Amino acid sequence: MSHDKRPQCDIGQVIRSIVDENDLSPEHLRHIEECPVCSEERRILAGRLGLLGRRAAEYSPLPARRIVLPQEDHPLLLRPGSGWRLAFGTAAGFAAVVLAAAWIMFRAGFVTPVSHLDVAGEMARDEALMAEISMLEENPLPEAYRDISPEIISETDEDIFDFIVPVSSLDRWSRGKEA
Amino acid sequence: MFRVGRSQWRERADAACMPADVERMSVSVEPVDHAAEFRDPSDLAALVEKAAAGDRLAFERLVDSYHGRIFSMVYYRIMSRMDAEDITQDVFVKAFGGIGSLKNPELFRPWLYRIALNAVNDFLRKKRLRSIFTVFTREQEDAGFAERRTGPDYLERKEFWDSLSKFLSRISASEREVFRQRFLDGLSIREISQVMGKNESTIKTHLYRAVEKFRRETELSMLLQEEMP
């Protein structure tokens, strides 16, 4: 039994020859070139694709506006080899600005050296504040209100009773009751 | 016209296969070469090198050579002349700012097309976003370009673009972009792979599928068939 090893007609190979001729084996390429059906199919398909590109170019408008480039030259950032220099310069500049700002603040008194005395004073102020907080926890009412707090009212205080329930209304109430 | 199924095609082809005395064919699928000025790639590379070193005149020569190509490339994707003019302007301004960073001058073409493709994608993304808030019609887009609708070959052009856009809408996004870059923009497989950042095998696979679908495309084929010799 003999097998025919010659390439057979295959539209896939024809398309492949249009996409990239180099992908085909020399045998397939020769077949496509020599076979009238394959070569005709290739001619038609390739012709249509070529015509498509030419028609697209023909049927699209031409640009009417001129390209206007910026007046200045290329930005320094994008010059070849300038990248690391620019990065280094930026970092150095930023560091200088931070140092200068710190120096100015120090000189202006925003930042002063801290002594043991300052630390002791700060601790004393903290203790006083804590004591005040503890006192408020025990008796949260301000001093002015302590006189009228319930504990005081619970004691007998005629003046307050008179203020809350005046004597005249007590008289009227007792008179009405009697009546 | 020769449009049959794969198996039928094979049957017919097998029957008609002839020996080697058939004339060798010469078929070109290359579209229009817009930058014929740079037949020698070293000319382009030298000009790009000069432009990258800050030579403004060299960059202006590059602009003159590629203005039409980039404009067309943008127009094929957005189909609006006014927007294509704006985007092309932006592309060259970006390229002017960035050419100093282009290390290999031989990659200028794919680099420029990549800038253009990114600009187109940005534009389409914004347009999609805008369309959520506004009612957009094709007539509004074309307003101001009345000459396009009154020219003698307007119907011919309209039919061509409608058929092409119908075909492109039926294939996948990757196939569409590869097909456009190969047959409309005239980029090589290598350049397409550089523009899209994919390997050449992937590009060939997308292109193969797109061409296979193009072959079966009736409307567009008929249109082009009429013009074929």
Q: What is the model's pLDDT at position A172?
A: 61
Q: What residues of chain B lie within 8 A of the CB of A45, using their CB?
A: 211, 214-215
Q: What is the model's pLDDT at position A50?
A: 92
Q: What is the mean pLDDT of residues B187-215?
A: 94
Q: Taking the CA atoms of B36, B37, B39 and B44 in sequence, report the sign of the dihedral they define.
A: negative
Three-state DSSP class for A105? helix
Q: What is the model's pLDDT at position A179?
A: 45
Q: What is the model's pLDDT at position A24?
A: 85
- Rounded distance, CA B126 to CA B134, Å? 12
Q: What is the mean pLDDT of residues B183-208?
A: 94
User: What type of residue sits at position B8?
Assistant: Q
Q: What residues of chain A lie within 8 A of the CB of B189, using their CB?
A: 19-20
CA distance B40 to chain A (A): 22
Judge whether A157 and A147 are in contact, CB under 8 Å: no
CA distance B194 to chain A (A): 17
pLDDT digits (tens), chain A, 179 positions: 445 556 677 888 899 999 988 888 888 888 888 889 889 989 999 999 999 999 999 999 999 999 999 886 555 445 555 566 778 888 999 999 999 988 888 777 766 667 788 889 999 999 999 998 888 887 777 776 766 665 555 555 677 777 777 766 556 655 555 54
Contact between chains at A35 and B18 (C-beta distance less than 8 A): yes
Q: Where are the domains of chain A?
A: 11-59, 143-179
Q: Summarize pLDDT for B66-110 with one digit per residue, the tens.
A: 999 999 999 999 999 999 999 999 999 999 999 998 989 989 999
- Rounded distance, CA B72 to CA B70, Å? 5
B107-146: b (≥16 Cβ within 10 Å) or e: bbbbbbbbbbbebbeebeeeeeeeeeeeeeeeeebeeeee
Q: Report the alpha-carbon angle B153-B154-B158, nearest 5.
A: 120
pTM, to two decimals: 0.63
Q: What is the model's pLDDT at position B169?
A: 93
Range 15-54 of A in CB contact (< 8 A) with B: 15-16, 18-20, 23, 30, 33-54
Q: What is the model's pLDDT at position A132?
A: 87
**Cα A20 from chain centroid?**
47
CATH 1.10.3720.10 fits B38-150, yes or no: no
- Rounded distance, CA B127 to CA B142, Å? 15
Q: Find the closest chain A residue to B212 by CA distance.
A: A15
Between A11 and B17, where is the model more confident? Answer: A11
Q: What is the mean pLDDT of residues B50-60?
A: 92
Contact between chains at A59 and B29 (C-beta distance less than 8 A): no
CATH 1.10.10.10 fits B153-224, yes or no: yes
CA distance A87 to chain B (A): 15
Q: Summarize pLDDT for B21-45 with one digit per residue, the tens.
A: 333 333 455 544 445 556 666 788 9
Token pair of A80 as six digits: 């070849």
Question: Which of B14, B161, B204 is opposite residue A9, by nearest beta carbon?
Answer: B14
Q: What is the model's pLDDT at position A63?
A: 92
Q: What is the model's pLDDT at position B3?
A: 41
| CB pairs < 8 Å spanning A and B | 181
Q: What is the model's pLDDT at position A32?
A: 87
CA distance B6 to chain A (A): 7
Judge whether A76 and A86 are in contact, CB under 8 Å: yes
